[in-house]
Chain A
Amino acid sequence: MTINRRDFLRAGLVGTAAAVVGAPPAEARDNKTVPEHAIGLLYDSTLCIGCKACMSACKTANDLPLDDTTGTGLWDTPHDLSGKTFTVIKLYQDGASKYKDQVIDGFAHIKRQCLHCADPSCVSACPVQAMQKRPEDGVVTYNPDACIGCRYCVAACPFKVPQFQYDTAFPKIAKCELCKQRLADGKIPACAQSCPTGATLFGAYNALSAEIERRKAMVPGQANIFPRRTVDSGDTHERASAEYTPQVYGQSELGGTQVRYLAGVPFDKFGLPVGLPERSYAAQSETLQHSLYGGLYAPGVVLAGLIGAAWHGSKDHHDDEDGGPHHG
């Protein structure tokens, strides 16, 4: 008896057909959207003076150690997000670095932190629901007690936010949770609380959307009022508004994020990924998973076929030591 192409293809086709017939209609999983009562941050790079008060406040609020890259043990000097750092102010520089918010010979700040995606890749990736998106306010939380440390979230995050701790026997994932412990106490995130210029502004997602529209309508160079801490805190200051780039980072990227950026230089200058699609990677991945394995329907049908074939086969040839002729 020989295995020929026809037999082989037939088996393949039967299996595929079983999977296709068995699968419920493959419904594309749409992007998840920002919850109704979502909260978030607006970081306006043009208002940021690079004082890093937010970084310091974040360390205190979240009980994080110094990230000492100078080896002196004196200063917190993270180069980037790390296992010890939930947020970091980074700098774009060009040439003489003389002009704020200009591409040529200019400089500009960017605040890196978790963007709290509407449809987070980390939440989709996490096998044990350690990463979760809170339905009430959309904060993406991390639960170390559930985490197995597989680091799929680290590999998957399109913004490279979750950071694993490689220097300890009992590591966790480090990531901004929008100061969930302060939110529970009725406070706002430490970074927004500490920002002297309102560059990091806390608020309801919708209120921040309105604030973004207001700022984009401003005439560059004209004096305008900017709130500090929260959109409606009443604590404001006046200054000339800068010229914003058209893109609001996080408005539509992969279905949008609850932390959004305004800036005076294009976002690729900060090393952020640009040109991202609107369809989230989580939706792409889960659409495939659900159409293959939804309700374990298709695997069940295939398994039934396989067990049937194996049972049929076992009538023909038993495990050899028990005798019985082999065909072929």
Chain B
Amino acid sequence: MAKAKHRALGGTLVTPVTLGLAVLIGLAVFLLAKRFIFGLGSVTNISNGYTWGIWVVWDVVIATGFACGGYAMALVTYILNKGEYHHLVRPALTASLFGYTLGGLSVLIDLGRYWNFWHILSPAYANTGSVMFEVAACISLYIVVLWIEFSPTFLEHFGKSKALLNKVMFVFIGLGVLLPSMHQSSLGSLIIVMGWHIHPLWQTTLVPLLFLLTAVCMGFAVVILEATLAAVGFKRDITGELPMLAKLGKIILMILSVFLALRFGDIIVRGAFGSIFTSGWRSLAFLVETGLFAAPIWMLWKPENRSRLSVLFPAALHMLTGAVLYRIDAFLIAYDPGPGWHYFPSVSELLVTLGVIALEVLAYIVFVRIFPILPGHPADVRS
């Protein structure tokens, strides 16, 4: 056996941080008990005007975008065959695993008739023309694929052979790229059937491509973010990973340029350009969103900037904030239910979302301490 490239961090699981996370999770569990006894209205501010609140838009639409690290890294590492990124795959996959698993769990929380959820996977009920069917089925399957992709880590930890799994893994890697490509684009397509409810700056048949591009980009940005946070949080030296992160910065630069060109080209072709300036606070949301997408292009333009964590990190942060806003805009800000409706999440609603995020972070911390996930000593990661 060659020397281990991935190492469990070890260390104690009980720290002020993990305890704080546990408190947030406990609070969310209490509020969810209320939701399941008294209905969605007892905890949330959603209404028949704005029927999808942050439990859908943040916990699913945005959280699965954040969880695209595994997808994006698998794409460059295994499909474009850039073995050099190999060490970044496993931590990215771990974050994806929790992001998607908890995204799936959040769906169950938000579904009014959750006990019927299995209908999504039953051919007797499936409506193949429904965008929601495509999204739900793909996300469910992808969660399974993620656990399979992640399973070598368990086998390693428990000292079991991975030979058999390695022989068939390429099938799951293929699926692990196809499924997110399908549902991340379809998350955008969800708004097409909403027709006039969605403001023309966001309503376009190009929306699946725009969502797909931002999803891939979010994946790369999250990897940069994770690497930085893991370095700071676990006091690790990431000099060895920096050249790879720099290249991810370049990919982000390229995708964002294509994205903005498509975004504006589409708006101009559809004759919606004027509404950039005449749509009140929706104009403002569009401009802020666009600014956040444009900033990383400017920051990462010079090659020497891309190898500096002090530039890469804020660039990734701008990219992610822009993508978060783009998804909030498309589903909430751009959504016009007609006169008389308002939505802002309730405190309880926000606390549940916070609890889900806390659970995700806690699971990540526990896993990287117990299982061999993060790259080992810098000397090992040079390739």
Contact in complex: A311, B170 (CB < 8 Å): yes
Distance in angstroms between the alpha carbons of A145 and B110 in the assembled complex: 18
Whether a CB of chain B sits under 8 angstroms from the CB of A195 is: no
A27–chain B nearest beta-carbon distance, Å? 13
A303-B175, A306-B174, A306-B177 as given contacts; A167 in contact with B193, CB under 8 Å: no
Q: Which of A7, A125, A303, A306 is the one whose CB lies under 8 Å from B131?
A: A125
Say whether A154 contacts B193, CB under 8 Å: no
B-side contacts of A327, CB under 8 Å? 83
A193 at interface, CB cutoff 8 A = no
Number of A-B residue pairs with CB-CB distance less than 8 Å in the complex they form: 254
Q: Is the CB of B84 within 8 A of A273?
A: no
Known A169-B38, A281-B194, A321-B4: A3·B127 in contact at CB below 8 Å: no
- A326–B175 contact, CB under 8 A? no
Q: Is the CB of A271 within 8 A of B338?
A: yes
| Chain B residues with CB below 8 A from A53, complex form | none
Number of chain B residues close to chain A: CB under 8 A:
85
Set of chain A residues within 8 Å of B174, measured between Cβ atoms? 303, 306-310
The yes or no answer to B247 lying at the interface (CB within 8 A) is yes
Give the contact-size bracket for chain A: 35 or more
A298 to chain B, nearest CB (A): 10
Please measure, in the bound complex, the distance between the C-alpha atom of A279 and the C-alpha atom of B254, giving whole angstroms: 36
Given contacts A310-B170, A320-B86, contact A3 B251 (CB under 8 A): yes
Q: Give the CA-CA distance A129 to B122 in the complex, in Å.
A: 11
Contacts of A302 in B (CB 8 A): 178, 181
Does B238 count as interface, using CB distance less than 8 angstroms? no
Q: How far is the CA of A284 from the CA of B193 in the complex (A)?
A: 7
B72 CB to nearest A CB, Å: 12
Q: Select which of B78, B117, B129, B173 is within 8 A of A124 by beta carbon.
A: B129
Interface 1/0 per residue, B63-82 and A, CB below 8 Å: 00000000000001111111
Cα of A158 to Cα of B198 in the assembled complex, Å:
11
Q: Kindly state whether residue B126 has any CB partner on chain A within 8 Å.
A: yes
Asked if B2 and A320 make an inter-chain contact with CB atoms under 8 angstroms apart, the answer reads yes
A317 to B173, alpha carbons, bound, how many Å?
14
Closest B residue to A323 using CB positions: B2
Report B-chain residues with C-beta under 8 Å of the C-beta of A312. 81
Q: Are A289 and B170 in contact (CB under 8 A)?
A: no
Which of B45-53, B277-285, B353-361 lies at the interface with chain A? B45-53
Q: How far is the CA of A49 from the CA of B135 in the complex (A)?
A: 47
- 6 pairs from A and B in contact (CB 8 Å cutoff): A149-B113, A152-B190, A166-B46, A306-B177, A313-B83, A316-B81
Known: A285-B189, A327-B83. 13 other contacts (CB 8 A): A128-B133, A146-B119, A151-B51, A155-B51, A156-B193, A160-B49, A163-B48, A164-B112, A308-B174, A310-B173, A310-B177, A320-B4, A323-B2
